[in-house]
Amino acid sequence: MSAKEYVDVITYHKKDGQIKPLYIVWHNGVKYPIDRVTQITRAASYIAGGSGIRYTCYFQGQQRYLFLEEDRWFIEKKGG
């Protein structure tokens, strides 16, 4: 069982090249707003495998890691 959950992400692309994720859209179509992003760094996911740009995000009162891996977004599943 994979610890990755590929998701749709609604983003804002800034003129300086930064990408800011605004919403995660779950597989059932439910859209969750990202309350804030506290860190953006290149990192590996030790839980799910893979690497890319890791966004430390807070939504629904929880910290979660959202990754941009090449051209796809994934979030680490809780409990791996």
- Residues 34-56: pLDDT tens digits? 999 999 999 998 888 888 999 99
**Residue of 19, 4, 3 whose CA lies nearest to 74:** 4
Per-residue pLDDT at 52: 93
Task: Place 2 in a pLDDT band, splitting at 50, 70 and 90.
Answer: low
The ranges assigned to domains in the chain are: 4-76
Query: Which pTM value belongs to this model?
Result: 0.88
Per-residue pLDDT at 50: 82
